[in-house]
Amino acid sequence: MASTNPIPIGIDKEQAFSMAQTEMEYRVELFNKLAQTCFNKCVDKRYKEAELNMGENSCIDRCVSKYWQVNGIVGQLLSAGKPPM
């Protein structure tokens, strides 16, 4: 019968917790960088309206899409042991 323990063999609970915490910190930092980068690129510094206009909305959509795409490519290169371009 297969074990239902989500912790890989050879890793204790403290190590697993530390790894999960590091991953969460990485994800939060990634999200914050994504939000800041796309906001600075796409949103006019002089707020004219409370809501995003069509152009800002489209820009943010493209920016986020490209950011995730590049993040995925870099992740694949790193996991394959190759340095990013």
CATH code of 55's domain: 1.10.287.810
Is 22 domain-assigned? yes
Instruction: Indicate the pTM of the whole model.
Output: 0.69
What distance in Å separates the CA atoms of residue 67 and residue 50, rounded to the nearest whole number?
A: 25
Domain extent at residue 44: 13-80
Q: 3-class DSSP state for residue 22?
A: helix
Is 6 domain-assigned? no
Is 85 domain-assigned? no
Distance of CA 64 to the CA centre of its chain: 10
pLDDT tens-place string over residues 17-61 = 888 899 899 999 999 999 999 999 999 888 888 899 999 999 999
Q: How many domains does the chain have?
A: 1
What distance in Å separates the CA atoms of residue 28 and residue 18, rounded to the nearest whole number?
A: 15
Which residue type, as a one-letter code, is found at position 40?
A: N
Classify residue 5 as exposed, middle or buried by CB count within 10 Å of its CB (0-12, 13-18, 19+): exposed
Q: In this model, does residue 8 exceed pLDDT 80?
A: no
